[in-house]
Amino acid sequence: MILKGKVWKFGDNIDTDIIIPAQYLAHTDPRVLSQHCMEPLAPDFAKKVKSGDIIVSGTNFGCGSSREHAPLAITGLGIPLIIAKTFARIFYRNAFNKGLALLEADISDLVEDGDEIEADISQGIIHCKGKEIHAKPIPPFMEELINEGGLINHLKKKLEG
């Protein structure tokens, strides 16, 4: 699966309270959550981001509390991929469960907001600024979850099949 998009760059230790502030946790609709995504750091983010754009971050993306609302807020904006040096483990699993692709690669210093990048998540290859960066490829089962829109859709398909 190849994804192309414009970069939105964030720093290290982006916690789930930044991704979706606690006052919006009463909502579960990704469209509602998405309107407040990254609000503490970038109040206009939800208005400016376009479907297909890609988040690039440093270390420990998704740290903090274990809330499935965080990947829902991101997918609600149409963002299909986050590339970060490292992810908090619970966010990593929640993201795949919600159909959001993640690649671990240290490209934060190579890109700026607005840069166009391309990522082959099956192979773990990222192209940016004429460079080819190798990330840890997504395991086949996790890619299957992404292709099927998350764990619930995957399980429904298995039960129906």
Query: Over the stretch 60-105, which tens digit does the pLDDT of each residue have?
Result: 999 998 889 999 999 999 999 999 999 999 999 999 999 999 999 9
Distance, in Å, from the CA atom of 48 to the CA atom of 29, rounded to the nearest integer, reads 20
Range 129-146 average pLDDT: 91
Reduced to 3 states (helix: H, G, I; strand: E, B; else coil), residue 119 is strand
Give the pLDDT band (50/70/90) at residue 58. Answer: very high
Say which amino acid occupies 45.
F
Question: What is the total count of domains within the chain?
Answer: 1
145 pLDDT above the threshold of 80:
yes
CATH number of the domain enclosing 65: 3.20.19.10
pLDDT above 90 (res 16): yes
Name the one residue in this structure whose structure tokens are 């890109």: 111
CA distance 149 to 118: 20
Domain that holds residue 84: 2-160
Please, what sign has the CA dihedral across residues 148, 22, 53, 57?
Answer: negative
